[in-house]
Amino acid sequence: MKKVLSFLLIGLAIFSSGCSSVSVRTDYDPEYDFSTFKTYRWANANELNPDDVLAKNPLAYKRVQDAVNNTLEEKGRTLVESDDADFVVHAHAGVKERIQVYNTGFYGGYGGWYDPWWGSYGGTNISHYEEGTLVIDIIHWENKKLAWRGTGAAILSGYRDSERMQKNIDAMVAKTMADFPPGAAKQ
């Protein structure tokens, strides 16, 4: 049941409300001359992990693909359908349940009166939430090695409006791919 709920949550929600709370990390192999990365294709179905959250939700995967395509197009890259691409894009995602524990003492968490018989004012709050992580890999097609990776993580939000969901996915992908290609002037 929990797995079904996670997949429904991914179907209804992906990545943050507003993207201001997106945590982004990128890394790359300096061996590559990214100025030669002009054309790309998406990983084929047989190249995907069938257990990946995006692979199990084709609607969410298509939204991520659209966002990545738009971002790469803005950066002067061209989507091709053949294996003659300079690089392959592979997007995958995961969901983890997170717990946040914090003390709420007297005066909003700054401690308070303490009595060994009764304790202090306040208490402990526990918050459960789900964090989604989107990973975008750029794979050099000629030698089939990872050249660049962008990772964005955010608290998942529920959506009833697919347009709003797409806007937030677009913002998350843009933020995650802001440093691609590495060394390029900020756009």
pLDDT at 124: 73
131 forms bridges with which residues in the sheet?
96, 155
pLDDT digits (tens, 9 = 90+) for 7-53: 434 443 444 444 458 899 999 999 999 999 999 999 887 777 777 88
Average pLDDT along the chain: 79
Average pLDDT estimate for 54-66: 90
> Is pLDDT above 50 for 1?
no
What tens digit of pLDDT does each residue of 115-172 get? 555 555 566 777 776 778 999 999 999 999 999 999 998 887 776 778 888 888 899 9
Residue 187 has pLDDT above 50, yes or no: no
The type of residue at 97 is: E
Strand pairing partners for 96?
131
Q: Is CATH 3.30.160.670 what the domain over 2-176 is classified as, yes or no?
A: yes
Calpha distance 66→69 (Å, rounded): 5
State residue 90's pLDDT score. 94
Domain ranges of the chain: 2-176
What would the DSSP string read from start to end of the chain? -HHHHHHHHHHH--S-SSSTT-EEEEEE-TTS-GGG--EEEEPPGGGS-TTSTTTT-HHHHHHHHHHHHHHHHHTT-EE-SSTT-SEEEEEEEEEEEEEEEEEEEHHHHS-----TTT--SEEEEEEEEEEEEEEEEEEETTTTEEEEEEEEEEE----S-HHHHHHHHHHHHHHHTTT-STTSPP-
Closest CA to 138 of 71, 16, 25, 43: 43
Return the higher-pLDDT residue of 7 and 83.
Answer: 83
